[in-house]
């Protein structure tokens, strides 16, 4: 599932067949977050010693990929960072205009807290992203129902994204 080269290197295809054939090579930001967390938990449980898979390094490589993208195009694909670095929020999809908004269900402040402690770099960013996500939930959830919209601007305002995004 993981892209080994090209603009999406380090990211994962969000939709594959059981044999690994990519049905859609775009990435979904929540997937990478869950992979990172699973790898960190594996490292905590089974370690990273000689003869054991180095889970923490794989987690860090995915985190690094989330910050390594420049806005560029290859074969018509635009790949961006998984987090808007200015807003300190996860983007819906790290591609084209789909990185101009977020999906409230992708906000995982409890993950970012752990990354702030366990990651090799960008620790202050993860700490701030956790705080930002918690504030975002207060802005985007309905006061009566507690429900969040499917998609929202970074200020929490619900949106209907462009068709096909």
**Residue 129 binned pLDDT confidence (cut-offs 50, 70, 90):** very high
Q: Which of 22-26, 33-37, 73-77, 137-141 has the lowest average pLDDT? A: 73-77
Cα separations in angstroms, 42 against 10, 54, 55, 115, 142: 19, 9, 6, 14, 36
Q: What is the CATH number of domain 15-140?
A: 1.50.10.10
pTM of the complete model: 0.89
pLDDT in tens, 77-126: 688 999 999 999 999 999 888 889 999 999 999 999 999 999 999 999 99
N-to-C CA span, the chain: 21
Question: pLDDT, tens digit, for every residue of 53-84?
Answer: 899 999 999 999 998 886 555 545 688 999 99
Q: Which of 10-19, 64-73, 148-157 has the lowest mean pLDDT?
A: 64-73
Question: Residue 165 pLDDT more than 90?
Answer: no
């Amino acid at each position: 599932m993981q892209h080994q080269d090209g603009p999406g290197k380090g990211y994962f295809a969000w939709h594959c067949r059981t044999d690994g054939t990519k049905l859609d090579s775009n990435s979904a930001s929540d997937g990478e977050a869950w992979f990172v967390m699973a790898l960190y938990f594996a490292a905590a449980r089974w370690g990273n010693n000689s003869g054991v898979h180095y889970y923490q390094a794989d987690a860090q490589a995915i985190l690094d990929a989330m910050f390594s993208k420049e806005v560029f195009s290859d074969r018509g694909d635009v790949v961006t960072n998984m987090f808007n670095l200015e807003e300190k929020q996860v983007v819906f999809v790290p591609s084209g205009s789909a990185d101009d908004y977020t999906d409230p269900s992708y906000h995982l402040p409890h993950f970012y807290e752990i990354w702030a402690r366990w990651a090799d770099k960008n620790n202050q960013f993860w700490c701030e992203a956790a705080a930002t996500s918690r504030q975002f939930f207060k802005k985007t959830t309905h006061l009566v129902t507690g429900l969040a919209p499917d998609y929202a601007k970074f200020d929490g305002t619900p949106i209907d994204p462009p068709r096909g995004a």
